Structure 1
Amino acid sequence: MPFPRASGILLHPTSLPSRFGIGDLGPEAYHFVDFLADTRQQLWQVLPLGPTGHGNSPYLSYSSMAGNPLLISLEMLCDRSLLYPDELHDLEQFSPHQVNFDEVIPIKMRLLERAASRFHEIVSDEDKHALAQFSEECHFWVDDFAFFMALKNAHGGAGWTEWPSSLARREPEAMAEWREKLASDIFCHKFLQFEFHRQWQALREYARDRQIQIIGDIPIYVAHDSVDVWAFPHNFMLDGETLAPALMAGVPPDYFSETGQLWGNPTYNWEELKSRGFNWWIQRIDALLDYVDIIRVDHFRGLEAYWGVPAGETTAMNGTWIEAPGAELFETVRQKLGTLPIMAEDLGVITPEVEALRDEFEFPGMKILHFAFGGGSDNPYLPFNYVANSVVYTGTHDNDTTVGWFEKISDYERNRLVQFVGCLSPEGIHWTMIRIALMSVANQAIVPLQDVLGYGSDCRMNTPGLSEGNWGWRYQADVLTTEVRDRLRWLTELANRAPNRSE
């Protein structure tokens, strides 16, 4: 679906300022929305919002439909007397520049559990009714998720295939017994989902009132250790004996890796999904649209054909391309949910078939300026090769910051860039690249906040392939200065990307 001309900022909520060790949905989230409105942005792109596991990657979540309780604002819980301000002091010791996940998570989760334990005593009948209504409306995922997390806690955080076989295989008698045993913990996880939903919807409404839409990511695959695979094993290619992935996801060897990338997620059992009318996918997309306005499909090419690697392989070299029913999926979703507000992450080696699938449904593809200045004039990431129905980025969360990128590129790329723009902005290379993105014909232009601020490689969000040190970057509130606001607003208006406030 072509989108109107607009621009926005890429920032995950964990990167927001707060006094409590990790960004959240409290006051600073609203201040960031004000910054977007002040600078005439219309888009806020976040990464996946789900609860994260090992490595803290939002792309490896325990659920494709749940929210991350670590984003819940403790200050807002204090406003409702579910917590008290003096209980938050342990979280005020942490650096404002980086999330120390290992230390923040246990402290914050204890506080969230305490708030859940006070719910029945403190809150109004109206809140209790709202929780019951949320549970009913989200029953298709929240009951299984709350039970899954309670079971995971009860088994020391072990993956579900390491639980007793009766639970791993969801035998009714064992399920009933453990549901009763873990009733209090199950309620806690359900309450946290309710509270995340309540706080997120309030923030989303605040953004919507300021003509700002939220773009949310949908990772194509889900983690093996997730409620999705445990509760719906028939949807995935699993070994019937071990319940491990029988066919793993990844990408084949290429210029960047001689052995390819072996992600380890189970691939989909597309025949089974199709026989059920793609019901799980429809529920997943519908659940995400309850949180965001536009969906960016990560690894979009895997919905046309995916690289499947047999169990037992230690690299992605011995995989094969397998056709996926992407067109049937999107047509079914469109019939059920209507117009598809989808952007396609179509980076990498993309075939004509993938482009045809993208274009059949008019999904805008991605253009990355960091990739534009290698090669020749036919480079698809050079702005004069764009079509209007596309989304241009200076870089993404997987790229270095623009300042860091510019320091490392070859002389050839640097010379090509200078020749393209004529001269570099005296305010810094980041403003040169922002200007190129905003002035392009692409309908949408997205800039990571690190690039707006001119930060270097130490503020990079993620380095693919590194198992540690990712996802933790945060900014401080005082860096969104009047000078930064004025320059971004001026460029946005000059590029004809500002909203029409009379609408």
Structure 2
Amino acid sequence: MHTTQPRQAGLLLPAFTPRREGDLGIGDTLALRGWVDWAADHGVAFLQLLPINENGTEESPYSGISSAALDPIYLACEVGEIPGLTEADIARARNQLKAAIQSPLVNYPAVRAAKRSLLELAWSRFKHSEPSLTAEFENFKKLECDWLEDYCLFRHLMEIHGESLTWDQWPEGCRTPQEARKFLSKLRTRDAVGVDHRLDFFAFVQWLCFRQWLALRGHAQARGVKLMGDVPIGISWHSCDVFFNREEFHLDWSGGSPPEGMRQDDPFFQQWGQNWGIPLYRWDHMQANGFQWWRKRIKRLTRIFQMFRLDHILGFYRIYAFPWRPERNHEFIGLGREEAAAITHGRLPHWSLRPDDTMENKAANREDGDARLRAIFDAANGAEVIAEDLGWVPEYVRPHLASLGIAGFRIPHWDCNEHGHPTPGDFFPENTFATYSTHDHDPVNGIWRACQRTIQQHHEQPTEQTGWWVGGCHNTLRILSEFAGIPTAHHSPWPPFTEGIRLRFIKALLSSNSRYAALMVTELFSLDDRFNHPGTTGGENWRYRLPWTLEEIMEDPLLRANGEKFAAIISITRRSP
């Protein structure tokens, strides 16, 4: 399966992050189109996105209510992009969203409400559209009927019962697929035209989403830039997929990760681990039907993305399982295992299907992962597959991924030998994805500055806590300096994060032997902002927006120079497309 491919440079740019003149308070497909052109002009081979599936009322892109439906929040609401809208309609929405548009963070409730109003308005006028558009819409419904019909019913039921309620909270008579379809039949007997018109609204929105994203894919392909997607390891318990395909999931178990001896400010994480709330897959059932759910999911994904990241690849081999949903986490803080077992009828968090505690179990886990990943690789049909293989990685995983031709991650300051020295970039395996940070971490400039602040704080006002942290900060700065070839004087303070240091980091990463090397957009501009703080909800998570439009970046000599220097290093390190 493995073939040598050109070395490529990429940029992580979540869809919610870019700005453009005229947007509605969040990144959209037109803003991304501008960044595709920027990437093409600077030798950037791919733009890495986070998941773009519909999230309902959630903010995290990893909490999709459908593995197929796309999130309309990323629709570009412009004349010509949404049939039926006028300049006056869009101007009114912009006026209502003035504060949200100017905000440094996405205001999801305001943006969703405004875009929903515009889509409702466009739908009310759609019957008067050109015949070619209505024919295109009808063809879309036929081609996508295998998932679209159930999805539209699900969204209609969400609308009827209140979008704040999850399907397990719906009234009796609607909580199973059979009941939901009977309920729909009853609605149709009262007002068939009105019900079908409402179902078609949700189909119309998805048609617009696929229309815009496929157009973006076409434009990117024409410019020689690839869009990189992201496949979450799980699907929301409250999703359309789980509602209609319950035989594929264990609904009484939640996937997550074990405690790792960190994040002491989070007592549940420290004691039990992370409970993500995703239902476990019934892998035996999936394997018996040829992994059809996964194959369809990947096939749809690769219509838009030429490459994609498989989130938490370790979960395809084995996953840490909780016998309770996250809403109950607080009940178990401070309890011993026997006390917890008394509440859960003897069931405790554990590795599913089995731990990596014996050679036999490791071999069985590897065999399980092999069957699952081969099905995904086959469904990808030539798309490039990257595995997020971070955390406590069993020794059999990376050799297995290499045998499949799936690229694993390499984060330089985590990739050290037994003596604590970083692996030089030219020793990274070719089929890997090198990056300093993911969306769950500080950018490398933020890491450097945060370490310096902690060291300075301890110097000025030493405490037991800062004393515990300061050693780790010195070690992190040493490892990063070694990897990037940053000269440091013995016993001297660490230098401030300068432009010279930033360029050394970029060059070291792009000079590595890894096939893929990617910066986060925040690292491109030396911004310390984060996209997400794992283990927390709300706040600034998933809301960060660049402070400038792409036009403003190109008009400002200092900002423009960041891209020009990146392009020069891409060329020097022979990563140009």
Per the TM superposition, whether the score is higher than 0.5 is yes
What does residue 146 of structure 1 align with?
Answer: 152
2:545 pairs with one of 459, 463, 474: 474
What does residue 326 of structure 1 align with?
Answer: 369
1:16 pairs with one of 1, 15, 18: 18
The SS at the match of 2:298 is helix
Query: Which 5+ residue runs of structure 1 have no aligned equivalent?
Result: 239-245
Equivalences for 1:13-412 in 2 at 5 Å? 13-18=15-20, 19-26=23-30, 28-77=31-80, 80-85=83-88, 86-88=91-93, 89-94=95-100, 95-121=102-128, 123-157=129-163, 158-171=165-178, 172-178=181-187, 180=192, 182-238=195-251, 246-256=252-262, 257-311=270-324, 314=329, 318-323=348-353, 325-335=368-378, 338-339=381-382, 341-372=384-415, 376-377=419-420, 379=422, 383-409=425-451, 410-412=473-475
* Higher deviation after alignment, 91-100 or 109-118: 91-100
What does residue 241 of structure 1 align with?
Answer: none
The SS at the match of 2:69 is coil
Whether the aligned pair in 2 keeps the contact of 1:17 and 1:96 (CA below 8 Å) is: no
What does residue 361 of structure 2 align with?
Answer: none
The offset of 1:384, in angstroms, is 4.8
Superposed CA offset, 1:59-94 (max 9, x none): 001111111101111114567443433333323442
Superposed CA offset, 1:364-422 (max 9, x none): 10012353579744656x53541111001121111112221111231222233334413
Q: How far apart, CA to CA, are the structure 2 residues paired with 1:62 and 1:259? A: 26
The offset of 1:219, in angstroms, is 0.3
Change (3 A) 1:271 1:165: farther
The offset of 1:453, in angstroms, is 0.7
Whether the aligned pair in 2 keeps the contact of 1:74 and 1:83 (CA below 8 Å) is: no
* Higher deviation after alignment, 33-42 or 182-191: 182-191
Change (3 A) 1:370 1:343: same
2:516 pairs with one of 441, 444, 467: 444
The SS at the match of 1:51 is coil
Whether the aligned pair in 1 keeps the contact of 2:426 and 2:511 (CA below 8 Å) is: no
* Higher deviation after alignment, 264-273 or 475-484: 475-484
1:6 partner letter = Q
The offset of 1:15, in angstroms, is 0.8
* Higher deviation after alignment, 206-215 or 414-423: 414-423
Change (3 A) 1:334 1:300: closer
What does residue 568 of structure 2 align with?
Answer: 490
The SS at the match of 2:275 is strand
The SS at the match of 1:216 is strand
Asked if residue 462 in structure 1 is aligned to residue 468 in structure 2, the reply is no
* Higher deviation after alignment, 161-170 or 422-431: 422-431
Change (3 A) 1:441 1:75: same
Change (3 A) 1:78 1:340: closer
TM-score (normalised: structure 2): 0.79
Q: How far apart, CA to CA, are the structure 2 residues paired with 1:292 and 1:207? A: 10
Q: How far apart, CA to CA, are the structure 2 residues paired with 1:333 and 1:259? A: 31
Change (3 A) 1:428 1:375: farther
The offset of 1:247, in angstroms, is 1.1
1:434 pairs with one of 488, 506, 510: 506
Which structure's CA Rg is the greater one? 2
1:473 partner letter = Y
Whether the aligned pair in 2 keeps the contact of 1:7 and 1:438 (CA below 8 Å) is: yes
Change (3 A) 1:335 1:419: closer
Q: How far apart, CA to CA, are the structure 1 residues paired with 2:161 and 2:49? A: 32
Could you tell me the percent identity over the aligned residues? 26
Superposed CA offset, 1:79-118 (max 9, x none): 7443433333323442252211122221221112211221
The offset of 1:225, in angstroms, is 0.8
Q: How far apart, CA to CA, are the structure 1 residues paired with 2:382 and 2:215? A: 24
The SS at the match of 1:455 is coil
1:495 partner letter = T
* Higher deviation after alignment, 55-64 or 312-321: 312-321
Q: CA RMSD in A?
A: 2.3
Superposed CA offset, 1:112-151 (max 9, x none): 2211221112x21111111122112221222211221111
Q: How far apart, CA to CA, are the structure 2 residues paired with 1:348 and 1:448? A: 20
Whether the aligned pair in 2 keeps the contact of 1:77 and 1:115 (CA below 8 Å) is: no
Change (3 A) 1:102 1:431: farther
Change (3 A) 1:35 1:338: closer
Change (3 A) 1:471 1:333: closer
Query: Which 5+ residue runs of structure 2 have no aligned equivalent?
Result: 263-269, 338-347, 354-364, 452-472, 488-494
2:506 partner letter = I
Superposed CA offset, 1:180-215 (max 9, x none): 463333211111110011111111111111111111
Superposed CA offset, 1:289-341 (max 9, x none): 11111121000011111112223773698322224633222333455564452
Superposed CA offset, 1:451-498 (max 9, x none): 001112xx2111111211211111112135431221111000001000
Change (3 A) 1:391 1:173: same
